[in-house]
């Protein structure tokens, strides 16, 4: 009776669930995308099919299939499956799952798989509570995270698990998922809607490889397009546009997306591509990045990558810093774009950057060297005995040959100007 009641309850909940939850794949054959990880013949698929799974951490962006894969494992395996969320679970829940696993292993020799969603949200002590159970194989851990586990998950737990990186789904994968939802009469829309081609492409573009986002957009678009009669309704690109007025791009100001976008921004300026530069800047602006952070990165870039090839780059970047401090969003986006495009178009030289790094390496690793006597401060007692210092302004062009480097480094070159600096 309890099983029948539970099944009825689960079916009722599923019928009222969002389309993205209803269309979650139930088997490996229904799983779309990530074929390099879960396709036929892969190590993971073979382990799942043979119920021989070892602990693993699934790492990838939202909507790429991490939780769906865990649910499939739950349906396929003969092991007992326990699901925890790092958002709402604590050490007490982890220990309860481990104790239950120990009892099942002792009394029925049944293995336990513990799935922890958003495992990066567990603190160090919570993650440490899993270590011995994973090491002794009391449990098989399946963790899911959108953050780089090598930064967010304890190293001992990483060393006891296999990390599998999942990627955003391809456009073709998203199209397959949307078409499947349109056709499916049990869990999807059951051919009650016709999706225009341009509407499909709008869904694909706005999804950005996120299956959950695509299905949510499809469901909203369908509710907007539903007609009063029982005929087939048409989903147009205007309906999709209405459903996606605010596009949520992946951008976590402290996570991988933050560092990846900033990296692309810097590399686009370094590559002298103003269009890519302003695009990545727009991604940061849209994501609500701190404008002072963006401006500081440009200030560093002005000296590191433009340098003496364009001495005006540094004051331009400094002006962007002051604009970010005094103006803020939204107007300072214009100041940031002004500076970013200037830096992208400026001639490039990293000679100053290489010079200071080379000199620092000598200071750190070379011999301890004294200041030559003729360069020493003349205001101390006994300075009259120092060799004469030749004052450059007493000579033509204010230049005079004398030793400036310490003994042992005469003739050493730290600064090697590029052709652009030699032309200045």
Same domain, 281 and 417: yes
Tell which wins on pLDDT, 373 or 252.
373
Average pLDDT, the chain: 87
| Domain-located, residue 239 | yes
Residues in the chain: 424
| Domain-located, residue 65 | yes
The pLDDT of residue 2 is above 50: no
Domain end position, chosen among 212, 243, 274:
243
Same domain, 296 and 417: yes
| Domain-located, residue 10 | no
Same domain, 122 and 74: yes
Same domain, 112 and 225: no
Same domain, 58 and 158: yes
Same domain, 274 and 365: yes
Residue 5: pLDDT band (50, 70, 90) is very low
Domain end position, chosen among 243, 262, 295:
243
Token pair for 327: 């103006």
Same domain, 105 and 130: yes
| Domain-located, residue 3 | no
Same domain, 229 and 318: no
Q: At what angle do helices 197-207 and 171-183 cross, to 10 degrees?
A: 120
What's the CATH code of the domain at 83? 3.40.50.300
User: Could you report the per-residue pLDDT of 256-309, keeping only the tens digit for each?
Assistant: 677 888 999 999 999 999 999 999 999 888 888 888 989 999 999 999 999 999
| Domain-located, residue 42 | yes
Same domain, 267 and 348: yes
Tell which wins on pLDDT, 422 or 312.
312
What's the CATH code of the domain at 201? 1.10.8.60
Closest to 266 measured CA to CA, from 250, 245, 280, 247:
280
Strand partners, 234: 194
| Domain-located, residue 117 | yes
Count of structural domains, the chain: 3
Same domain, 185 and 298: no
Same domain, 281 and 420: yes
| Domain-located, residue 13 | no
Domain end position, chosen among 181, 212, 243:
243
Domain with 353 in it: 251-370+406-424
| Domain-located, residue 389 | no
Same domain, 293 and 418: yes
**Residue-level pLDDT at 8:** 47
User: Could you report the per-residue pLDDT of 54-110, keeping only the tens digit for each?
Assistant: 999 999 888 899 999 988 988 888 889 999 988 888 888 899 999 999 999 899 988
Q: What is the model's pTM?
A: 0.63
What's the CATH code of the domain at 311? 1.20.272.10
Show Cβ contacts of residue 297 under 8 Å, excluding neighbours closer than 6 positions.
262, 265, 266
Q: For residue 251, with 0-12 CB atoms within 10 Å meaning exposed, 13-18 middle and 19 or more buried, which class applies?
A: middle
**Residue-level pLDDT at 242:** 87
């Amino acid at each position: 009776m309890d099983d029948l009641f539970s099944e009825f309850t689960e079916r009722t909940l599923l019928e009222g669930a969002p389309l993205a939850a209803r269309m979650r794949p139930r088997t490996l054959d229904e799983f779309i995308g990530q074929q390099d990880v879960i396709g036929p013949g892969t190590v993971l698929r073979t382990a799942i099919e043979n119920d021989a799974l070892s602990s693993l951490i699934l790492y990838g962006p939202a909507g790429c299939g991490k939780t769906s894969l865990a649910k499939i494992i739950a349906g396929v395996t003969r092991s007992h499956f326990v699901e925890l969320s790092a958002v709402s679970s604590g050490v007490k829940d982890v220990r309860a799952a481990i104790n239950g696993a120990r009892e099942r292993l002792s009394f029925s020799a049944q293995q336990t798989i513990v799935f922890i969603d958003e495992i990066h949200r567990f603190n160090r002590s919570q993650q440490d509570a899993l270590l011995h159970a994973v090491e002794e194989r009391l449990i098989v851990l399946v963790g899911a995270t959108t953050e780089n586990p090598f930064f967010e998950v304890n190293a001992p737990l990483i060393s006891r698990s296999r990390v599998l990186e999942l990627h955003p789904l391809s456009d073709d994968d998203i199209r397959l998922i949307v078409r499947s939802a349109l056709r499916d009469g049990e869990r999807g829309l059951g051919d009650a809607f016709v999706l225009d081609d341009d509407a499909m492409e709008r869904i694909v573009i706005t999804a950005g490889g996120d299956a959950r986002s695509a299905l949510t957009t499809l469901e909203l678009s369908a509710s907007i397009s539903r007609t009063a009669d029982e005929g087939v309704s048409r989903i147009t690109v205007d309906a999709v546009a209405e459903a996606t007025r605010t596009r949520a791009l992946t951008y976590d100001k402290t996570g991988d997306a933050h560092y990846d976008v900033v990296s692309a921004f810097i590399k686009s300026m370094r590559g002298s591509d103003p269009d890519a530069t302003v695009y990545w800047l727009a991604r940061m602006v849209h994501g609500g990045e701190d404008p002072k952070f963006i401006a500081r990165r440009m200030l560093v870039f002005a000296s590191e990558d433009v340098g003496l090839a364009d001495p005006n780059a540094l004051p331009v970047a400094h002006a962007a810093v002051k604009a970010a401090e005094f103006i803020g969003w939204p107007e300072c986006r214009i100041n940031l774009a002004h500076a970013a495009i200037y830096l992208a178009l400026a001639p490039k030289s990293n000679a100053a950057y290489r010079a200071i790094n080379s000199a620092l390496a000598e200071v750190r690793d070379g011999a301890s060297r004294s200041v030559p006597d003729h360069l020493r401060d003349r205001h101390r007692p006994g300075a009259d005995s120092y060799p004469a210092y030749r004052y450059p302004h007493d000579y033509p062009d204010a230049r005079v040959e004398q030793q400036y480097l310490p003994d042992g480094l005469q003739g050493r070159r730290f600064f090697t100007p590029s052709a652009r600096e030699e032309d200045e």
